[in-house]
Structure 1
Amino acid sequence: MLNPPADDSSPVDKIAHALSVALGARDHYTRIHCDRVVQLAAELGMHIGLTTAELEELALSARFHDLGKIGIPDTILRKPAAFEAAEWECMKQHVLIGEQIVLAINGGRASGIARTVRHHHEHYDGSGYPDRLKGSAIPLDSRIISIADSYDAMIARRPYHNARDHQEVMDILASESGTKHDPDLIHAFGAVIEKSAMRAGQDKPFSE
């Protein structure tokens, strides 16, 4: 669980904390997942040499990446089974809802964080959503979060799937290199995760 922001925290930090608490109240799994994605994304960002300022923006983007799920109905958000087509289309709206929340925090002005949140489900080959961006047109932070998001989702035990072990997840990520994920970042992630405390098997996988 996040600690309350210090008294000298910026307004954005305080808002980030408040929204994280709100998301946790709505869906505990998503809150824990976001915490883990922040850590995984930061480790990958450090490995590829992002600056301190870039790492701070990446961390906020990872914190907010699933915030739009606040606007998804409980019947879909908490469904203990695979989505039907219409339900999946509804769930995909979370990236746009999240973008709008971040824009509101920023007074309606465009921001890198809002753009990252919008595009974290784009695929490297252009088959993702919402805008079917391809390759380097996808923001770097979105590409980083996509990998961290995928890894953590697959190692978690959920009502509709069992947790996968580390090697199985890495094999899946490798198979998605160049299609779903940036191949250079997949290679970097492979080096990072082997030494990470977030690696599956280091502790029990999270489950509801």
Structure 2
Amino acid sequence: MDFLRTSSSEAGVLHATEDERVWKVLIVDDEPEVHTVTKLALRSFRFQGERLELLSAMSAREALEIFEQHDDIALAMIDVVMETEHAGLDLIREVRERLKNRKSRLILRTGQAGQAPEDQVIRDYEIDDYKEKTELTTQKLRTLLYSTLRAYRDICVIEAQRDGLKRVIESCSSVQSSTTFNQFATAVLAQLMNLLNLGESAIYCVELPDGDQVEGELHILASTGDFVECKTLRELKSLPQKVIERITDASSTRQSQLYDDAYLFYSHGKRGTHNLLYLTYNQPLNDLDLQLLELYVSNVAITFESISLFESFQETSSELVYTLANAVEARSRETGAHVIRVALVSERLAQLYGLPERQCMLMKLASPLHDIGKVAIPDSILHKPGKLTAEEWTLMEKHVEYGVDILKKSSREVMRMGALIAGYHHEKWDGSGYPNGIAGEEIPIEGRITAVADVVDALGSKRSYKEPWPEEKILELLKSERGKHFDPTLVDLFLEHHKEFFAVRDKHPDNVNEI
């Protein structure tokens, strides 16, 4: 419901306290007596316990300025004849057509009915009622306000529900991860709270079945109103103590609880999860409200469990990729952490370059496979401490072809991306790379990105034939190879964010084997 707060100190406004909510009503008339009489008639008026904020305009021009400043005017009572014979009608047209204001209820109030015949005005102008001043007694004026404010209230509710439904639909299309799922669950919860007029504050938590302790196991899936900042259990500690105690108690007893000002739903998921929905309300819950809320809890729980299972499969697949890549690196007597760092740097470079989110994610998953073809290179070449002969180098270059052959047989996105990266990450911007000697943007962006990540990490790593390079020397090489070995744009991005990239090595040193 769109309750409204006072904000201005304009002449003609009945002031409310800072925290009091009001309904804004605009009086548009060039006769001061009309303003005085209207205010007297409505001085004790209340609608749903909230009073009015009366704004005054002595002309259509002044009224239009007020409409431009306030998009929350519930009702405007507008005279027809003011600075011109049709000033009120012109104002209505401006409000509806130029300002696109369809919510405010517009009542035409005239003392000269002949100037604006009722049938013509109702037909040609988007107004909500037509009244002659002589017929508006105090009681009829109050009756008019009750019916008009109800209409405005319902329009606001419908508009809020429409916006909420839009958010739900937008969230539905991208529920593929815990992040988007949180957005989806929050959008649905906010829409449900609005639909049932239950207030603004609610929080939905899930407790995973891996442990008996609440601490560290409770996860926030959705939050609205006063709880909207809560995303982790630690942030729950900033809530009122009674809320913390209620959530903790329900988590411990595994039972729903009804309080004077709130309700706490508990449900047990099929995969052992425990689901908690705590919400405040401003009116008692009826049976239908309870059914809808319970339906929300059960369905969000099912969806969350399905997504969790899907993410578990994703994590398992990612772990297999890294394990395979690590095995290849180990055979090359290089550290497994190399592929982890290449993955993270490639993903971040892709993000900075502006690639779509999904492409960035695939870069992270597939880039560890860039040298998978080395599995087919003989140990005598892989482990040779000295410089390779021309024949040996030709054979070493074959690892690109072997890698592509291994990965291209799969129809999976990650493997297809891996084949692309394996095939192109040794090409150079100036065309002097291998295996195809292509240049510039002919090289797929995935190959260009991985080339930077791979070389930078290799330079910073200890090898049997060299010591790790200091960061300053790596940056100097990037600058010198800008436009030669590497894509100039990617070099610029790396240089601009080099502290962030070098921090990846600190977080994942060579003795770390997990991501």
Report how far residue 121 of structure 1 moved: 0.3
The structure-2 alpha-carbon separation of the partners of 1:14 and 1:203, relative to structure 1 and needing over 3 Å to count, comes to: closer
CA contact (8 A) 1:23 1:30 kept: no
* 1:16 equivalenced with 2:321 (yes/no): yes
Q: Which runs of 5+ in 1 are unaligned?
A: none
* 1:115 equivalenced with 2:420 (yes/no): yes
State the AA in 2 paired with 1:175: S
Aligned mates of 1:154, 1:177 — CA distance in 2: 16
Aligned mates of 1:166, 1:18 — CA distance in 2: 28
The structure-2 alpha-carbon separation of the partners of 1:9 and 1:28, relative to structure 1 and needing over 3 Å to count, comes to: farther
Report how far residue 112 of structure 1 moved: 4.1
CA contact (8 A) 1:65 1:117 kept: yes
The structure-2 alpha-carbon separation of the partners of 1:156 and 1:10, relative to structure 1 and needing over 3 Å to count, comes to: closer
Q: Which residue of 2 aligns with 1:198?
A: 504
Aligned mates of 1:123, 1:183 — CA distance in 2: 11
Counterpart among 374, 387, 390 of residue 69 in structure 1 = 374
Listed one character per residue, the Cα deviations across residues 58-80 of structure 1 (whole Å, up to 9, x for unaligned) are: 12331110111111111111222
* 1:48 equivalenced with 2:356 (yes/no): no
Pairing 1:99-110 to 2, within 5 Å after superposition: 99-106=404-411
Aligned-residue RMSD, C-alpha: 2.7
CA contact (8 A) 1:155 1:205 kept: no
4+ runs deviating over 6 angstroms: none
The structure-2 alpha-carbon separation of the partners of 1:11 and 1:194, relative to structure 1 and needing over 3 Å to count, comes to: closer
Report how far residue 115 of structure 1 moved: 2.1
Report how far residue 161 of structure 1 moved: 1.4
Counterpart among 26, 29, 39 of residue 331 in structure 2 = 26
The structure-2 alpha-carbon separation of the partners of 1:98 and 1:31, relative to structure 1 and needing over 3 Å to count, comes to: farther
Report how far residue 131 of structure 1 moved: 0.5
Structure with the higher fraction of residues in helix conformation: 1
* 1:142 equivalenced with 2:447 (yes/no): yes
State the AA in 1 paired with 2:494: F
Aligned mates of 1:60, 1:204 — CA distance in 2: 16
Report how far residue 52 of structure 1 moved: 1.9
Aligned mates of 2:346, 2:439 — CA distance in 1: 20
Listed one character per residue, the Cα deviations across residues 114-139 of structure 1 (whole Å, up to 9, x for unaligned) are: 12210100000111000011100000
Report how far residue 205 of structure 1 moved: 6.8
How many residues are matched? 199
Aligned mates of 1:30, 1:106 — CA distance in 2: 29
Counterpart among 140, 146, 156 of residue 461 in structure 2 = 156
Report how far residue 162 of structure 1 moved: 1.7
CA contact (8 A) 2:449 2:490 kept: yes
Aligned mates of 1:198, 1:22 — CA distance in 2: 21
Counterpart among 169, 176, 180 of residue 485 in structure 2 = 180
Aligned mates of 1:48, 1:122 — CA distance in 2: 19
State the AA in 1 paired with 2:504: M
The structure-2 alpha-carbon separation of the partners of 1:54 and 1:130, relative to structure 1 and needing over 3 Å to count, comes to: same
Q: Which moved more, 1:11-20 or 1:143-152?
A: 11-20
CA contact (8 A) 1:34 1:66 kept: no
The structure-2 alpha-carbon separation of the partners of 1:153 and 1:14, relative to structure 1 and needing over 3 Å to count, comes to: closer
State the AA in 2 paired with 1:132: G
State the AA in 2 paired with 1:128: G
User: Given the two structures, how large is their TM-score scaled by the length of structure 1?
Assistant: 0.84
Q: Which moved more, 1:90-99 or 1:187-196?
A: 187-196
Q: Which runs of 5+ in 2 are unaligned?
A: 1-309
- Larger radius of gyration between Structure 1 and Structure 2: 2
Listed one character per residue, the Cα deviations across residues 136-176 of structure 1 (whole Å, up to 9, x for unaligned) are: 00000100000111101111111111211001011011101
Counterpart among 167, 171, 176 of residue 472 in structure 2 = 167
- Bigger relative contact order, structure 1 or 2, given CA contacts below 8 A and separation 6+? 1
